[in-house]
Amino acid sequence: MTTIGFIGAGNMGEALIRGLISGKVVRPADLWISEPDSARRARLVREYRVRAAVDNADLARRCGVIVLAVKPQLMDPVLGGIAAAAGRAKLVVSIAAGVTLAALEGEIKARLVRTMPNTPALVGEGATAIAWGRGVTAADRALVRKLFGAVGTTVEVSESLMDAVTGLSGSGPAYVFTVIQALADGGVQAGLPRATALQLAAQTVLGAARMVLATGTHPHQLRDQVASPGGTTIRGIAELEERGVPGAFMAAVRAATARSRELSGK
C-alpha cells in the first residue's frame, strides 16, 4: 500500500483515517496528515498513530496519494503550495465540494479524482460519489474505491452529475434529520416520552433504509406491503400526500442542486 496523506484532517478527514485503520486497509505508519490546528494534529497523531508532515508541501513529497480535505475557499493556496511536488507520479483525490476537475487540472499535474462523500461517513455509513479525472489508472480506481469503501458505499458518476449528487446525498442527511425530528415530534404529540419517540423514529428510518438496500425492492412496493386496506399506515400516507411531502423532498433536492451549480460558478 502506498503512503496516503491528508491535507486537512477535520471531521471528514478523520472519518476516512479511522475507517482506513479500523478496516485494516492501510497501516497507521503509512498515513500522513497536514493539519494547521496544532491541538487537533497532536490528538490525531496520538490517537491513530499517524504521522504529521511539516507542511502541505512536505506531505505532498512524502505521499503517493494526496487527499485534499480542505474547505473549497482554501483550495487555491493549497494547490499552489503542493504544485511543485504533485507531479504525474502522484494521485490527488479531492473531497472539496464545488471544486471541479478542471480547476484542479489547471493548477497541478497529478492524476486526479473528484469525490463527494457525506457526513454519515463519520459512523461508517457514508455514501461517496466518485468522478474520475485526468490520467487515472485501473489501479487508481481500485484504490479509491477501497479508500471510500472503508467508510460506506461508493458510486461512480460523470462529473456533470456531481451537483445532483450534492443535492441528494451531500445535503440529504439534513433532510433525513428533519424527518427523524418530525417523526419524533409526532410521537411526543401522540403521548410518547421524548427519548422514546426519538429512539423509535431514528431506528425506524435506519431499518427502512436497510430494507431497501438489503432486499433491492422498490420503496413503493415496500410501502404497499405495510399499508393494509383501511389501516393506520394508509391513513398516514394519505396525510403526507395531501400535504405535498413527497413533492417537497423532490423540490429540496432540486433546490440544493441548483445552489451547488451556483457555488461552482456554473
For the chain, the structural domain boundaries read 4-161, 170-263
Residue 249 has pLDDT above 90, yes or no: yes
Q: Write out pLDDT tens, residues 39-51.
A: 999 999 999 999 9
Burial of 246 (0-12, 13-18, 19+ CB in 10 A): exposed
> Is residue 263 pLDDT above 90, yes or no?
no
pLDDT at position 97, please? 86
Nearest to 60 by CA among 36, 102, 32, 41: 32
Q: Is the pLDDT of residue 63 over 80?
A: yes
CB 168 within 8 Å of CB 253 = yes
State which amino acid sits at residue 150.
A
The whole-number pLDDT of residue 266 equals 62
Question: How many of the other CB atoms lie within 10 Å of CB of 68?
Answer: 28
pLDDT of residue 21: 92
Torsion of CA 247, 223, 172, 118, to 10 degrees: -160
pLDDT interval class at 1 (50, 70, 90): low
Residue 136 contacts by C-beta under 8 Å, 6 or more apart in sequence? Answer: 91, 111, 112, 113, 144
**Mean pLDDT over all residues of the chain?**
94
Phi and psi at residue 114, to the nearest 5°: -110, 135
Confidence of residue 168 (pLDDT cuts 50, 70, 90): very high
φ, ψ of residue 63 in degrees (nearest 5): -110, 140
Is it the case that residue 264 has pLDDT exceeding 80? Answer: no
Measured distance between the N- and C-terminal CA atoms of the chain, rounded to whole angstroms: 38
Predicted local confidence at residue 72, as pLDDT:
87
**From the centroid of its chain, how far is CA 52?**
24
What percent of the chain has pLDDT above 90? 89
Spell out the SS3 assignment of 226-249.
HCCCCCHHHHHHHHHHHCCHHHHH
Q: State pLDDT tens for residues 6-23.
A: 999 998 999 999 999 988
What pLDDT, on the 0 to 100 scale, is given for residue 2?
85
The predicted-structure confidence for 93-121, as pLDDT tens digits, reads as follows 999 988 999 999 999 999 999 999 999 99
Same fold, 4-161 and 170-263: no
Asked whether 175 and 252 are in contact (CB, 8 A), the reply is yes
Average pLDDT over residues 165-192: 97
Task: Indicate the burial class of 248 (C-beta count within 10 angstroms; 0-12, 13-18, 19 or more).
Answer: exposed
Helix ranges (H only) for 35-105 are 38-48, 56-62, 75-82, 101-105
Q: What superfamily does domain 170-263 belong to in CATH?
A: ProC C-terminal domain-like (1.10.3730.10)
Q: At the fourth CATH level, which superfamily is domain 4-161?
A: NAD(P)-binding Rossmann-like Domain (3.40.50.720)
What is the distance between the alpha carbons of residues 149 and 151, in angstroms, rounded to a whole number?
Answer: 5
> What local confidence, expressed as pLDDT, does residue 23 receive?
86
Nearest CA-CA partner of 55 in 34, 76, 74, 38: 34
Residue range 152-162: mean pLDDT, rounded = 96
> Which residue, chain included where needed, has cell 503550495?
81
